[in-house]
Amino acid sequence: MDHPSSLDQIAERVERLLLRHAELQRTNALLAQQVSALTQERDSLKSRLQAARARVDALLDRLPATSAPAAPTETKDAP
């Protein structure tokens, strides 16, 4: 038999498809882990941002209240 039978060809193709499927499953699992890690990082950064905003707001509240800004005084040289 010089030419593989169609059944052998189908079996070979199925084997390649199974290998590709397993490879894609591994890739998908790795991507899911990355998504999970990035989601956790995003949530942590959002929490840190909220805390920083709260600190800035607290500092702004501690600033003394200012009255209307004073008009700048200009001095002109009289001739």
Tens place of pLDDT per residue across the chain (79 aa): 457 799 999 999 999 999 999 999 999 999 999 999 999 999 999 999 999 999 999 999 999 987 666 666 666 665 5
Distance between CA 41 and CA 43 in Å, rounded?
A: 5
Please report the pLDDT score of residue 3 as a whole number. 72
| 47 Cα distance to chain centroid | 14
pTM over 0.85: no
Cα angle 57, 63, 61; round to 5: 30
Distance between CA 13 and CA 19 in Å, rounded?
A: 10
Proportion of the chain in helix, strand, coil states, percent, rounded to 5:
70, 0, 30
Q: At 51, which amino acid appears?
A: A
